[in-house]
Structure 1
Amino acid sequence: MSKRTADGDNGDAPLKRGGRPEPMDLDDNQEMGEFEDEFEDEFESEDEIFEAGVDGRPDAEREAEERAGAMDVDNGTFIVGRNKLEAGQHLAPDVGTYDMLHSLSTPWPCLSFDIVRDGLGDQREKVYPATMYTVAGTQADSTHQKENQLMVMKFSGLSKIERQEDDSDSDDDDDEVSDPILESKSIPLTSTTNRIRAHRMPAQDPSRPPTTFTATMTESSQVFIHDITPHLASFDTPGTVITPQQNKPLSTIRAHKSEGYALDWSPLVPGGKLLTGDNDGLIYATTRTDGGGWVTDTRAFQGHTGSVEEIQWSPQEASVFASASSDGTVRVWDVRSKSRKPALTVQVSNTDVNVMSWSRLTTHLLATGADDGVWGVWDLRQWKPQTGASDKPSPIASFAYHRDQITSIEWHPTDDSMVAVAAGDNKVTLWDLSVELDDEESKDTAGVQDMPPQLLFEHIVEHAKEVHWHPQIPGTLVVTGSEFSVWRPIPVVYGVPTK
């Protein structure tokens, strides 16, 4: 895994989970961010609200470019394991496989983000036009540290891709007319963001909105906790002004002596309980008090011999969490332990274990992704205290499809057989672990050794770093890298009708 090194002349130092993408070329007066379609439609911006057309270009323009590049592009379907790119050829996305596809650029790359749950409904039957809320932290280069910020964003008007066969469907007309809009609020930060996570605390008073906290781990080794509730509310209250006091952190965690990337809020402690892990292999717990303050336990959890790359709370046991490390292990802990030592340790890779995801539906399943491009699924019921090499458990599924380090992995929120994976080879892949081929299907796939049958979909994002399923919009994903990509494959992949 690439670790952060001393800044070079260009100020773009490599980061964990891959190198920092090149900064965008921006005019001096360019605002916070901008939507752009996959095919570089022009757009206009005003203040912090941006509009752009849906994906796609006029037919004449697209046809002209296709004719000009006909000698360089193979317009057929590329099948991994069967086809090879010849000199001068390149791959282009098949927009026909997407139900929605939008892109978003920000002043500086945001290599970590989180989706904020909203009050618009779970498992929304009417998908389009879609609205979602996100938080992200920027990664400005070393010469522009003062430009870093925590970005609170609202995406709205996210429409499905318009197809010719949809023109006759008058029932869907309302879904096709909106333009995507980005609204954003920024909170100044003094350092680049390594990892950010949001936590929504239910309101005790039904007349008041839920409180939303963010925790931001920075390159400075400090962790900032902010209340972004007023920033989210301002999107729906025109004219609202965010005060400097509302931009200040509620708490700053200074327990870490080195920077870190591991961060997770407990899903079972509504008031707020946070775990943070650093490059020294130390993990600290921070809890919100009854009075609304924040207290960090100075007794660190210790056991890893390398940096802590990922932390995940158990979705079922409020006192249990797991951590993944560059030492190749995953360790399971109990916060009630006085020894602050792990209860279980399993060597899951000979390389760094970069990322991890604990299934919220089948809570004995844990997915891990490593520096060698391999990701796997583990049955925690098979994990026991080890007494020898022969006791090492094996994954119940393992895939070596990606050609670079795994940078993100996440279980589908409502389907315990589906997993999204992002990697340093610029690919985001969707997998269905329930797929098994019968004899006839096995014959059809002969010679496609590099294409596992469980692979459902492949999405290309330059410098793909972090991917999340939207927990309330079925089949919709957001991924960040050189830019944000908001997308939804055709619903047939999930068996979810588009309305």
Structure 2
Amino acid sequence: MSKRTAEEGAAGVPLKSGGRPDAMDIDDKPDMGEFEDEFEDEFESEDEIIEAGVDGRPDAEREAEEAAAMDVDNGPATFIVGRTKLDPGQTLAPDPTTYRMLHNLSTPWPCLSFDIVRDGLGDNRSVYPATMYTVSGTQAEGSKAGDNALLVMKFSGLSKMDGEGDESSDDEDDEDEDADPILESRSIPIGSTTNRIRAFQARPQDASRPPVTLTATMTESSNVLIHDITPHLASFDNPGSVVRPQQNKPVSTIRAHKAEGYAVDWSSLHPAGKLLTGDNDGVIYLTTRSDGGGFVTDTRPFLGHTSSVEEMQWSPSEASVFASASSDGTIRVWDVRSKSRAPALSMQVSKTDVNVMSWSRQTTHLLASGADDGEWAVWDLRQWKPSGTAAAGKPTPIASFGYHKEQITSIEWHPTDDSIVAVAAGDNTVTLWDLAVELDDEESKDTAGVQDVPPQLLFVHYQNQAKELHWHPQIPGALVATGEVFSVFRTISV
């Protein structure tokens, strides 16, 4: 990824981050002239006899035109983002009528990974302009690697599209509706590219004390850095607040890994903090945070994968269980209480690398996976049996889709709707899917001209170099995706 253009400012200075893209268009429309009837003088005399078909034209001419029209109808009339190739000089822009909200925001360097930080502004909110907080890590160019940093960011002024009503109040003042969004950031130097970052809010035993917001960063250096970004977040909304240099230092550094990695996840069921990290050697470590704030990494690794661990997630319902996805094509399920440190379940789910996965928080026996061949699938974990049992064998996904032709780079279930899944892929798209859709016979006829487009596909959003996406847990339907820029959007379909 190359350096992107951005309006740079000093640390903590708001960056004005563009407006909305223009309306979706393909810039190859020819100029249209006046229609001329080439047959207007055909009947100059009532005595003139012409051999013609039912429309007054010779049969041969009419049949030739109909044949040409059929050739056009049978051609690739539907433009499919990520599949149909643009002609030289053509460009794409989004159709604003299909979005409730759409903004692009730029950072000084590209970000491979980010996470959304829960805030105190309320749940299920729909007031515009919207505000959200995120944390990400940069990927600076080779000679500038020392400039890499964590970016604690505040996105504000995220207005709705023209004509979109405010669901929360008819009296909402929309005078700022068309203003550009604002990106404010606090930079934490780390000197290494961030491969993956995850945020967590640790809840103290003393309920009167505020939560502490932590980040875990997997870096190219093989070290895992844990930062307390609580003061950085507070500085956005407390005038005069300053982040001291010592607050930029990690509160803990995990040095157990011998190789860099991409897999990291905090458990949502452990209030103090429980962290999994996995590396390119296939090794997984567990780090636990005490109530006093210290971190201890268990020196006994979880071993079983024969290649790199690409993704890990804790079970949303069982505090001791987690799953891991690997470039060895397997997904394995583990129990941290196991003395053997071996997986309880191991399933071959792809012939290629399994890059990403997502555990449904609404229906916790469902797991979605995305692979290097562009296929993503949904699995029912109740059908998986331990190796060596009579029922063990290759599992069958309850749904699978080969729509994308490039690697799947991110996948995530909707936080409150277990039928909606968002997928990012290397074909520069973010797609939204509704697994509840079933195609009946009548609908099959209507979609017969659109080849290889499943009826479950709800929406396609163009995102150049799409890397990672997340649903906002407190703004229903809002998605954030990182790539060449950060894209913040909500469609009318979700």
Q: Which TM bucket (shorter chain)?
A: 0.7 to 0.9
Q: Which amino acid aligns with 1:435?
A: V
- Equivalent residues of 1:422, 1:428 under 8 A apart: yes
Q: Secondary structure at the match of 2:111?
A: coil
Q: Secondary structure at the match of 1:217?
A: strand
Aligned to 2:441: 439
The 5-angstrom pairing of residues 388-427 of structure 1 reads: 391-427=393-429
Q: 1:71 to 1:23 in 2, by over 3 A?
A: farther
- Equivalent residues of 2:274, 2:286 under 8 A apart: yes
The 5-angstrom pairing of residues 22-421 of structure 1 reads: 22-25=2-5, 30-31=8-9, 48-51=13-16, 54-55=19-20, 70-71=29-30, 78-79=79-80, 88-124=89-125, 126-163=126-163, 171-174=171-174, 176=177, 178-204=179-205, 208-387=209-388, 391-421=393-423
Q: Which amino acid aligns with 1:31?
A: G
| TM-score (structure 2 length as normaliser) | 0.84
- Equivalent residues of 2:21, 2:94 under 8 A apart: no
Q: 1:334 to 1:82 in 2, by over 3 A?
A: closer
Q: 1:143 to 1:389 in 2, by over 3 A?
A: farther
- Equivalent residues of 1:81, 1:451 under 8 A apart: no
- Equivalent residues of 1:32, 1:106 under 8 A apart: no
- What's the CA shift for 1:87? 5.5
- What's the CA shift for 1:439? 1.4
Aligned-residue identity in percent:
71
Residue deviations 1:346-382 (CA, integer Å, cap 9, x gap): 0000000000100011000000000000000000000
Q: Secondary structure at the match of 1:475?
A: coil
Aligned to 1:473: 475
More displaced stretch, 471-480 vs 284-293: 284-293
- Equivalent residues of 1:100, 1:489 under 8 A apart: yes
User: Which of the pair has more CA radius of gyration?
Assistant: 2
Please give the alpha-carbon distance, in whole angstroms, between the structure 2 residues aligned to 1:170 and 1:349.
50
Q: 1:131 to 1:373 in 2, by over 3 A?
A: same
Aligned to 2:465: 463
- Equivalent residues of 1:82, 1:447 under 8 A apart: no
- Equivalent residues of 1:109, 1:483 under 8 A apart: yes
Q: 1:206 to 1:342 in 2, by over 3 A?
A: closer
- What's the CA shift for 1:290? 3.1
- Equivalent residues of 2:9, 2:15 under 8 A apart: no
Q: Which amino acid aligns with 2:238?
A: T
Q: Which amino acid aligns with 1:337?
A: S
Q: Secondary structure at the match of 1:415?
A: coil
Residue deviations 1:140-189 (CA, integer Å, cap 9, x gap): 122112211000001111101224999xx974542626542211111110
Please give the alpha-carbon distance, in whole angstroms, between the structure 1 residues aligned to 2:455 and 2:327.
30
Please give the alpha-carbon distance, in whole angstroms, between the structure 2 residues aligned to 1:81 and 1:222.
36
Q: 1:381 to 1:238 in 2, by over 3 A?
A: same
More displaced stretch, 381-390 vs 97-106: 381-390
- What's the CA shift for 1:241? 1.1
- What's the CA shift for 1:89? 3.8
Q: 1:347 to 1:52 in 2, by over 3 A?
A: closer
Q: 1:97 to 1:286 in 2, by over 3 A?
A: same
- Equivalent residues of 2:195, 2:218 under 8 A apart: yes
- What's the CA shift for 1:55? 2.3
RMSD: 2.7
Please give the alpha-carbon distance, in whole angstroms, between the structure 2 residues aligned to 1:349 and 1:25.
38
Please give the alpha-carbon distance, in whole angstroms, between the structure 2 residues aligned to 1:235 and 1:177.
23
Residue deviations 1:303-330 (CA, integer Å, cap 9, x gap): 0000000001000110000000000000
Aligned to 2:451: 449
Q: 1:305 to 1:447 in 2, by over 3 A?
A: same
Please give the alpha-carbon distance, in whole angstroms, between the structure 2 residues aligned to 1:405 and 1:52.
29
Please give the alpha-carbon distance, in whole angstroms, between the structure 2 residues aligned to 1:32 and 1:104.
17
Q: 1:52 to 1:352 in 2, by over 3 A?
A: closer
Q: 1:236 to 1:209 in 2, by over 3 A?
A: farther
- What's the CA shift for 1:94? 1.0
Q: Secondary structure at the match of 2:234?
A: helix
| TM-score (structure 1 length as normaliser) | 0.84
- Equivalent residues of 1:272, 1:287 under 8 A apart: yes
Residue deviations 1:40-88 (CA, integer Å, cap 9, x gap): xxxxxxx61134674267xxxx9xx98986449xxx9735799775555
Q: Secondary structure at the match of 2:237?
A: coil
- What's the CA shift for 1:261? 0.2
Show structure 2 runs of 5+ residues with no match: 32-76
- Equivalent residues of 2:157, 2:182 under 8 A apart: yes
Q: 1:479 to 1:81 in 2, by over 3 A?
A: closer
- What's the CA shift for 1:390? 7.6
Q: 1:439 to 1:210 in 2, by over 3 A?
A: same
- What's the CA shift for 1:202? 2.7
Aligned to 2:48: none
More displaced stretch, 216-225 vs 285-294: 285-294
- Equivalent residues of 1:105, 1:483 under 8 A apart: yes
Show structure 1 runs of 5+ residues with no match: 1-20, 34-46, 495-499
Please give the alpha-carbon distance, in whole angstroms, between the structure 1 residues aligned to 2:385 and 2:241.
54
- What's the CA shift for 1:207? 5.3
Q: 1:450 to 1:68 in 2, by over 3 A?
A: closer
- What's the CA shift for 1:221? 0.1
Q: Secondary structure at the match of 1:394?
A: coil
Q: 1:397 to 1:202 in 2, by over 3 A?
A: same
